Structure formats: structure tokens, C-alpha cells
Chain A
């Protein structure tokens, strides 16, 4: 894990009291977050903890049941467009318009963000090179592999040079070379361009290597937050790696597990027994 940056400026993202309810099920239950500028901020948690829902609420893909999200001072509910102008999002699965070419896709993104055409042209040139997609710029996206699509989505999200990059599972579909590229890129973006990166991941090695701060979510709530050192202290795993810390902090008793299943799927003891 890299050295945490001093938090002197006001946070770029402020999330307070964020809740998301689906019927009787509470996916996210009162999350508070402050993402400082110029940091990689990791969100970790077991399956179904509420990470993706939180990320999607921060990018405006899902409406929260309650709570507020402000991005660079813009309230996501009231100043939606302004907040989104400075945000880029990379989902875990790269669904993009398959009948467009890579060049057309990036140009489309430039249009959505009202970028200057000259700037769009420069960025396309730069990003196609960075993500090694130059020779495929005229190919339809439908002919791309999963990893190529993921790289294109990265390029699209970075095209308007957002101040905040939200990434849900950045490593899905990328080969080892892609892993390396992305990890190096995260640090570069943060250190050279003062971008803030909010990423959720299962890949603890990535979190360990690139995140300045981490929060761990379980059952829709934050159960721990801080740097790796702080988390080690909190979990009592002072000499352990992030994996040990994570397992300790998210450990469930049998009773907690049953409660969790009942909370999510309704109280059907016969079906839970298995």
C-alpha cells in the first residue's frame, strides 16, 4: 500500500447517510464517506456487501433511498449534470455499443461531455496508444475480446479527464499486462493529475498496492476504515496482510449468516436450512 497523502483539502466526494432499500431488503445502510482529492480510495467487502450499489449511487446510476452525495460541491441530486461532468465511471462488465468502432465510441463520449473537438482528437490519439488499441480503431467493438472492451471502457472514462474516477472491479477481464498497466496508471493519475480514484475490488493485492485509504463494507455498512496500518491495528492482525485483515473484519458467525440470509431473501427457514 502506498503512503497516504496528507488530507489538507476538503473532500472531493462526500457521502452522508447513504441508504438503498429494495422492498424489505436494505442493500446499503447509512454509509458515510469522504474521498479526499488526489487519492486512491478502495472499497472492499464480501459478495453482496453493498459495494456495487454504493458505487452505482455515487455515479448516478441508481437513486438512493435517502442520504446525500456531493461531488466537488455539487449535490448529485440537484446538480446532476455538473456533478457528472467531473466523474468518469468504469463498470465491472464492459457493455458498450457493439456496432460502433472504437474511434466512434470515443468520439461519442467526447460529444456527451461537450468536449472541444481538438481536445477530443488529442485525447483519442493519446488513449488509443496508451491502451494499445490504435490498430483496432476502425474495428467494430463486437469483434473485441472482453479485455479489449474493458481497455476501451477505461479509455472512454478517462477521455474527458474527470477529477473523479469511479471503478467497479477494475481487474475483471484484464490480462496480467493489463493489470500492470492499470495499477501503474492509477498511481500516475493520482500523483501527476491529482485525480481521485474510488474503486471497489475483490482483488486485495490491488487494494494493497494502490490504495491510500480503504473502507470495508459488510451488510451495507462500513465496518472499518483507514490506511492498511490502521486496519491492521483495528483487526488485531498487526503482522498480517490485507487478506488476513479482511477475513478477520468480515468474519460472520453462523447466527449472523442466518440473519443475513433472512434479511435478504425473507424468513423462509425451510429453505435456509441448507
Chain B
């Protein structure tokens, strides 16, 4: 058998065993909602979160989990006396509960951020905004993922 063959017996065995090895590796355990709770607590402690003021937009059906558009907006005048200082995004089912954190100030003018994230599974995504007076506002939204970012 010459080396010119794209799929020589040796190649098939090499790749085949590689794929088999991949198939045998257990996927990293996906996070549970409790991990998102823990991540939230590590960042914000036990302060109460009020529902509202935060609008989190993620498509209800994400066709591609590798790139999901996410938009978060907080209803705030963004003045020196009343502004958002931080927005955190948590995932309930990704291997890591943290998705992104944004730091803002009165100079932001508008508390809105758009980005693209990865989703490892059909899940709930949470957004929590911290105001300059320490108050927390939050919301969550659900997205069905048809093509999951499998091991992210």
C-alpha cells in the first residue's frame, strides 16, 4: 500500500482510536442552578434581589449555542446620584456559572450592553445589576438551544 492513499489502514486506525478516546472521555459535568446561586453569592453576598428594572434579551430559540446574541439593559438615569455600577450574567447549565461581568459608571450614559455568548445547553440565563446605592435588581430568561456548544 502506498503512502499516497489518503485513508491508509494506519491512518484509519490512528484517527479511529483518537475518536474512540474522545468518545470515552466523560463530558465535563454541566453546572447546576446551585452553581449559579453560589457564583451569585460570591459576588453579591446575601443581599436581596428585586425583580425588575433589568431587561435581558436572549433569543428564545438559539440555533447555534456557540454564538448567542445577548442584550442587557437596565432602566437607570445613569447620573452621578443614581447609576448602575455592575451587571453580572450567570448561566445555570454551562460548565462555569459565570458568563460575563460589566462595570459601568455615570459616564456610561446608558446602561445597555450587547454581546455574544456560548450556551452549553437549553437553560435559564440570569442578569443581576448592582446600583450605586447597593440595591440589586435582576431578571432571568430562558433559551432553548438546538445546537449546543457541547463541551463549550
Q: Do A and B bind each other?
A: no
